[in-house]
Amino acid sequence: MSVHDSGTMDEKTIGKAFAGEKIVKVITCEQAFEIAEKYRIRMDEISAYCNTHGIKIRACQLGCFK
């Protein structure tokens, strides 16, 4: 996995992780946590990627997203 000097993962790497998990338009909170652990991606990076690419987060464990 490629990490920039700033410590953030690049979008290509996150995109590849999402493609590998077949995430296109919607991701559940549980899937996001699983991807974060499996691919060693921080949750804030996953969130930023989702926001930038219009991917909706569903079934939030905190009830924030429906």
pLDDT at 4 over 50: no
**String of b and e for 33-49 (b: at least 16 CB within 10 Å)?**
eebbeebebeeebbeeb
pLDDT at 8 over 90: no
Confidence (pLDDT) at 65: 56
Query: How confident is residue 23, by pLDDT bands cut at 50, 70 and 90?
Result: very high
Confidence (pLDDT) at 66: 55
Report the distance separating Cα 6 and Cα 54, nearest Å: 24
Cβ atoms within 10 A of the Cβ of 32, count?
Answer: 24
Determine which of 24-28, 52-56, 61-65 has the lowest per-residue pLDDT on average.
61-65
Confidence (pLDDT) at 3: 44
